Amino acid sequence: MRVLVTGTAGFIGCEVALRLLRAGHEVCGFDNLNPYYDVRLKHARLSRLCGFDGFTQHVAELADRAAVDRAFAQFRPQRVVHLAAQAGVRYAAENPHAYISSNVTGFLHVLEACRQQQVEHLLFASTSSVYGANPGMPFSESHPTEHPLSLYAATKKANEQMAHSYAHLFGIPCTGLRFFTVYGPWGRPDMALFKFAVAMAHDREIELYSYGRHARSFTYIDDVVTGIERLLHRVPAPQPLLETMHGSPQILDPGVSPVAPYCVLNIGHATPVPLMEYVRQLELAMGKEAKKVFLPKQPGDVPESAACSQRLFDAVGFLPETSVAQGISRFVAWFREHPQFGGQEVGGQKAGGQEAGAP
């Protein structure tokens, strides 16, 4: 199968492409290699893919419509996994135009290219951040998402609505993936685990926002990739309305469209872990105690994210289950094997808030 993966120099995109290549699929990558964080890490991820005969790569901006159209026309993908985006909750307050250019305009170009090439299935990254001010736990796809707390989350909510409209108007099957706190080897250096490990390796303080009193559904990268791989083969279909005894139609599942081949699913570990336990597991894996600084809540942070991934299980018979003890141990082993990424300052944001829970 021919699969176009955007964001192949990114954390999740690289791992998805690697899994597909090992399974014998042809993969076309698309990434702009932007300097939001250490570009050397992005090049190192890509080097893991370049040894496969079935891999090709385009380096260009999603906002460049001609470049997106060219990549699609040359490769003619059967399916698309769209993971590229300007990431980061707090950075959106500093550079909002980057989020609109990449996450909204860029996604429009991907949708248009999927329409032109008659793609069989588009999977696209959303985020647990779309739940925003919703107080209900655990987060379910049927919960309201009308009150995002950051521009990043707003762009991802826009992606979900844009995809639904294209699924309805042009029959493009679309599956939105709401990721919860993805972590593991080759991860993003602007996120909590990587930043904490770097600080501890240099005997510096780690900064814990909300005074360390929040929790997340930390989800290990391999579990996320397994979910994506399985969903790639499960093409959504419209859900018919259910007629009630009083004659008024009702939707069986609010996360599945009644008028389009479209659905959204959570991909997250079912058990939220307190941040202090997350730090404790990192201390155990690194064999040293962290120097902790406790700070107030940051704008855009939510106190907790807890995933209900029952819909994922119903769809593909799989639930993320890697424990934070296992996942952090594997990350630390990788971190020690790659000192070139842990020996200097990386990323430009503070960790410990919602950024630690965004994809």
Residue 314 lies inside a defined structural domain of this protein: no
- Cα–Cα distance between 324 and 280 in angstroms, integer? 10
Q: Is it the case that residue 288 has pLDDT exceeding 50?
A: yes
Asked if 145 and 105 touch (Cβ cutoff 8 Å), the reply is no
Question: Are 236 and 95 found together in one domain?
Answer: yes
What pLDDT digit, counting tens, does each position of 161-214 carry? 999 999 999 999 999 999 999 999 999 999 999 999 999 999 999 999 889 988
Q: What mean pLDDT comes out for the span 24-51?
A: 96
Question: Are 241 and 331 found together in one domain?
Answer: no
The reported pTM is 0.91
Residue 333 lies inside a defined structural domain of this protein: yes
Q: What mean pLDDT comes out for the span 340-359?
A: 44
Q: Is it the case that residue 349 has pLDDT exceeding 80?
A: no
Question: Are 188 and 63 found together in one domain?
Answer: no
Given pLDDT bands bounded at 50, 70 and 90, which one contains residue 359? Answer: very low
Q: What pLDDT does 250 receive?
A: 55
Question: Are 117 and 51 found together in one domain?
Answer: yes
Q: How many CA atoms lie within 13 A of 202 on its CB side?
A: 15
* Catalytic (active site) residue 152: yes
354 is written with which tokens?
């919602």
Question: Are 277 and 331 found together in one domain?
Answer: yes
CB-CB neighbours of 301 under 10 Å: 20
Residue 188 identity (one-letter amino acid): R
Q: Residues 152, 166, 183, 262: which is the catalytic one?
A: 152
Question: Are 208 and 261 found together in one domain?
Answer: no
What pLDDT digit, counting tens, does each position of 298-308 carry? 876 777 889 99
Three-class DSSP category at 286: helix
Question: Are 58 and 18 found together in one domain?
Answer: yes
Number of residues that make up the chain: 359
Which residues are paired to 121 by β-bridges?
Answer: 79
Residue 109 lies inside a defined structural domain of this protein: yes
Query: Which of 99-113, 255-269, 341-355 comes out lowest in average pLDDT?
Result: 341-355
Going by C-alpha positions, the residue among 201, 186, 226 that lies closest to residue 290 is: 201
Q: What pLDDT does 44 receive?
A: 97
| Alpha helix positions (H), 121-191 | 151-170
25 is written with which tokens?
């699929």
Going by C-alpha positions, the residue among 103, 118, 89 that lies closest to residue 6 is: 103
Containing domain of residue 210, as a range?
Answer: 183-217+270-306+321-357
Question: Are 274 and 263 found together in one domain?
Answer: no
Of the two residues 38 and 245, the one the predictor is more confident about is: 38
- Cα–Cα distance between 140 and 158 in angstroms, integer? 18
Residue 316 lies inside a defined structural domain of this protein: no
- Cα–Cα distance between 133 and 144 in angstroms, integer? 9
Q: What mean pLDDT comes out for the span 9-38?
A: 97
DSSP state of 139: B
Residue 95 lies inside a defined structural domain of this protein: yes
Residue 23 lies inside a defined structural domain of this protein: yes
The domain that contains 197 carries what CATH number?
3.90.25.10
Residue 169 lies inside a defined structural domain of this protein: yes
Asked if 283 and 276 touch (Cβ cutoff 8 Å), the reply is no
174, containing H or E segment: strand 174-179
Question: Are 285 and 229 found together in one domain?
Answer: no
Domain count, the chain: 2
In terms of DSSP bridges, do strands 291-294 and 273-274 run parallel, antiparallel, or are they unpaired?
Answer: unpaired
- Cα–Cα distance between 170 and 201 in angstroms, integer? 52
Residue 315 lies inside a defined structural domain of this protein: no
What pLDDT digit, counting tens, does each position of 43-69 carry? 999 999 999 999 999 999 999 999 999
- CA–centroid distance for 169 within its chain: 26
Q: What mean pLDDT comes out for the span 212-223?
A: 95
Mean pLDDT (the chain) is: 90
Q: Which residues contact 285 (CB under 8 A, 6 or more apart)?
A: 328, 329, 331, 332
